[in-house]
Structure 1
Amino acid sequence: MKHYFFILISIMFTSIGVYGQDTLMVSKKEIQEKAAAGNLQLKLAEKTYLSAKADYQQSNALFLPNLSASHTALVTTNPLMAFGSKLNQEILTASDFNPSLLNDPKKTQNFATVISVQQPLVNADGLYERKAAYAKMGAYQLQSERTQEYIQLETDKAYMQLQLAYQAVTVLKKAEATAVANLKVIDNYFKQGLVQKTDVLNVQIRVNDVSNQLHYAQSNVQNASDYLGFLLNEDLTNKVYKPTEPLANTIAPVVLIAQVPENRKDIQALKQAETAYQKMYVSSKMNFLPRLNAFGSYELYDQSLLGTKAKGYTVGAQLSWNVFDGSKSIGKMAKAKADYQKATLETEQYKKKSQLELNQTNRQLGDAENKVSLTQLAFEQAQEAYRIRQNRFAQGLEKTTDLLQAETQLVQKELEHLQAVFEYNFTKQYLQFLTY
């Protein structure tokens, strides 16, 4: 009975290691909501969009005035500054034109309050830069939405992996119980002299193998739970998730889609990015055109702090044309053109790669459906084979090794079938992700 004691102790400690922690029941709908609210990758995508939105908001300066105000205090004995300060303060007298005072003025103080405004009127390059910023913002918004769809897919996959891990634990627990029961039967046969010691040892090895597989399966539960917690951005210290819904053991075939839709958000995002580069290319061309801007200022001068004794204003417009800047604008235009052409090629390459991936996924789905059918048949056959060998063994017509082989095959085929169903259901979900 010594080997029974060690087996039970091993099973007990394995159970304590896995289940000696809080178990959190979660549904598929619940994890989808948590992922949408807390996933870090989604938050990063949202911040990237907000950054692009802020860039677009900066382009409002193309239409809105630039208003500034300043108050300057100075003390000077500089002849020109002293004369100009008095002139601005409107306090010049005839004595101020005395050459000795002009050349060697006394200390003069001046306080100036200036309110200035600059209003862009015609800036063709800035207009296209604004259009490029708007397209860039749209691209990041679409990319953020696509990231949300991807996180939903990844969360569903993680949930199915958790379901599969728990189902594998269930299968292996059942296999462990069967192996222990077989060990008890073989041990009784050995005591009666009906089997040899090697038969008992073979069954003990089988019990140890199943216990080891169960230990790894329980570790997979923790691994799957940890990954799901990472996607949900939750701390799982001393905690483990458990799905409320069992793993599906059947499949539902779907109609295959042959072409990648043009309105898929990631493809639309690339097209928006391509548009942004195209607008930047046009903007670089417009950089050779003149700019027209208006300006104005209202000025207050006094000898006292914050004084407003003397007043004046300036209003005007400036037409500026950067005729030659050392070929900087030419180089900028050439770079913008290359970036636009590169974006066009990247969009085309991505669409073709997506179509290739869709074709492969369609074939994988067909292969997965075939695999489910074959593993289902193999599992049913393994069940029948084990039942027959178990009955024949009880009658003394089968060897212990044959019974162990049949029992091992049964567990293996059941796990293979569960894996095949998981692969089919995920491939089907991934196909839906590729086509919307």
Structure 2
Amino acid sequence: MKKIKGIVLVGVLLVYFSGHSQDTLSISKSDLFQKVADKNLQIKIAEKSYQSAKADYNQTNTLFLPNINVSYTGISTTNPLMAFGSKLNQEILTPADFNPAVLNDPAVTQNFATKFEIQQPLINVDGIYGRQAAKTKMEAYQLQTERTKEYLILEVTKAYMQLQLTYKAVKVLEKAEATATANLKMVENYFKQGLLQKTDVLNVKVRVGEINNQLQYAKSNVQNASDYLAFLLNEDSKGKTYKPIEELENAIEIEAINTQLSENRKDIQAMNKSSEAFEKMMQMSKMNFLPRLNAFGSYELYDSTFLGTAAKGYLVGAQLSWNVFDGYKSIGKYDKAKADFQKAEVETEQYIKQSQMELNKTNRQLKDAENKVNLSQLAFEQSQEAFRIRQNRFAQGLEKTTDLLLSETQVIQKELEYSQSVFEYNFTKHYLQFLTK
């Protein structure tokens, strides 16, 4: 019975842990680019902003297209003016209706009217500039959306490289853990032989514990990097961990990169389009002082019975309107639009200069990163050789345990620093390409 209970307990534990285990999903960089373009939330927000601007532009079609309205109205009245007008519209007036007594105190009169109205803009100069401003604004949002996609490609590349770096750190620390464990066994054997003191064994055990702790921290960083990658891809990260198919590059590739700021960069084009839109808005406010010409017309059906169409009539015309003075409102709008345009111009100039400064800074960082890779690679190789020498001397009883531990720690540190420097150089190169794209 006890044996059966034990088997059941083991089965329950296996089910529990299998239900709470992490699924490791292999993923390549090419897969990420397609997923981020299809699913990233920031890209979707940018696309919706563009669609909103496009809808604003479509609204300006009213500048050329007619406004058509259909209405059906039924009334019952004893109002003298309304009663007389209703009969007149219905074409049923008789000489008796001109009797003053009937005019002043009419009987209940019913009127059912069907009315088709059309309003057609003809000349609205301010509206033309408003339409141009809306179109330019839409184009600016389109360019900004394209730049957002380029930025997300850069960001997902960085996230993928960070994931590679965390796996590399785990691999280095696992190797260090194996080395430290082997050293611990060797020290324990020497201690049993009376060649070392108890403090030497304790020092090595402390070092093994430190590496175990660093390894656990590195594994947590793997999950953190995986979660951020899942966020960029708009995927649920619960219960799964991404693992890159490609390992972190172990060397750098020097190549010439154009470091000139291009005015064809999508975000700079978007800023210029934004300034152009504000200029069109200023011109629209200026043209608001000009008169407008609009045509209108209506076709009306009247009857004293519901849905009747006994009497018919139409009306066509045109209106030239000119708002000569509106209490300084139009002047104030023009001044505001002018200030907004000038502000947009200054912001565009500032953005271009700031972008050039960022480009120059990144170019210097790339050179610094290249130098750091070379130095860290040399330091890593030297630390490996130093550790090999100390390990051999320690086996011969010529080195202290503390010196061996210090040398071992230095090897791990320099290898991680070298991997970090390679990551920094490669990402800086990607970022520089993004700034010059």
Normalised by the length of structure 1, the TM-score is 0.95
What per-residue deviation string (whole Å, max 9, x for no partner) do you get for residues 266-322 of structure 1?
Answer: 000000000000000001000000000000000000112221110000000000000
Residue 158 of structure 1 aligns with an amino acid whose one-letter code is A
AA partner of residue 93 (structure 2): L
Quote how far apart the aligned CAs of 1:258 are.
3.2
Q: Which residue of 1 aligns with 2:401?
A: 400
User: Residue 363 of structure 1: CA displacement?
Assistant: 0.2
CA deviation after TM superposition for structure 1 residue 397, in Å: 0.8
The residue that corresponds to 1:250 in the other structure is 251
Q: RMSD in angstroms over aligned alpha carbons?
A: 1.0
Cα separation, 1, equivalents of 2:210 and 2:53: 57
State the AA in 2 paired with 1:241.
Y
Is the 2:259–2:436 contact (alpha carbons within 8 Å) kept by the matching residues of 1?
Answer: no
1:298–1:314 contact (8 Å) kept in structure 2: yes
Which segment drifts farther, 248-257 or 277-286? Answer: 248-257
> 2:274 aligned with 1:273, yes or no?
yes
Give the share of equivalent positions with the same residue, in percent. 70
Residue equivalent to 1:368: 369
CA distance in 1, matches of 2:309, 2:191: 115
Pairs aligned (count):
420
Name the counterpart of 1:103. 104
Residue 148 (structure 1) aligns with: 149
Post-superposition Cα deviations, 1:219-269, rounded to whole Å, max 9, x if no partner, equal 000000000000000001111110111000111112143321010000000
Q: After superposition, give the CA deviation of every residue in 1:68-107 in whole Å (9 maximum; x if it has no partner).
A: 1000011100000000000000011111111111101111
- Is the Cα–Cα contact under 8 Å of residues 384 and 411 in structure 2 kept in the other structure? yes
Q: Classify the secondary structure of the residue corresponding to 2:259.
A: coil
SS of equivalent to 1:295 = strand
Q: Which amino acid aligns with 1:318?
A: Q
Report the 3-state secondary structure (helix = DSSP H, G, I; strand = E; otherwise coil) of the residue aligned with 1:106.
coil
Alignment deviations for residues 149-171 of structure 1 (CA, whole Å, 9 cap, x no partner): 00000000000000000010000
Alignment of 1:294-305 (within 5 A): 294-305=295-306
Secondary structure in 1 matching 2:170:
helix
Residues in 1 aligned to 2:250 and 2:305: alpha-carbon distance in whole angstroms: 89
Q: CA deviation at 1:173?
A: 0.5
Give 2:419's aligned residue.
418
CA distance in 2, matches of 1:358, 1:270: 18
Kept after mapping to 2: 8 A contact 1:256/1:362: no
Letter in 1 for 2:25: L
AA at the equivalent of 2:251: T
Q: CA offsets, 1:378-436, max 9 Å, x none?
A: 11111111111111111111111111011000000000000000000000000000001
Give distance in 1, aligned partners of 2:286 and 2:178: 78
1:111-144 deviations in Å (ceiling 9; x for gaps): 0000010000000000000000000000000000
**Distance of 2:412 and 2:272 partners within structure 1:** 51
User: What SS does structure 1 have at the residue aligned with 2:262?
Assistant: coil
CA contact (8 A) 2:121 2:293 kept: yes
Counterpart CA distance in 1 for 2:243 and 2:216 is: 17
Hey, what does 1:11 align to over in structure 2? Answer: none
* 1:32 positional shift: 1.0
Query: Alignment partner of 1:111: what SS?
Result: strand
Structure 2 unaligned runs (5+)? Answer: 1-16
1:333-372 aligned at under 5 Å gives the runs 333-372=334-373
Q: CA deviation at 1:20?
A: 3.1
Mapped pair 1:183 → 2:184: yes
**Residues in 1 aligned to 2:179 and 2:21: alpha-carbon distance in whole angstroms:** 25
Preserved CA contact (<8 Å) 1:165 1:221: yes
SS in structure 2 at match of 1:82: helix
**Contact 2:257–2:433 (CA<8 Å) still a contact in 1?**
no
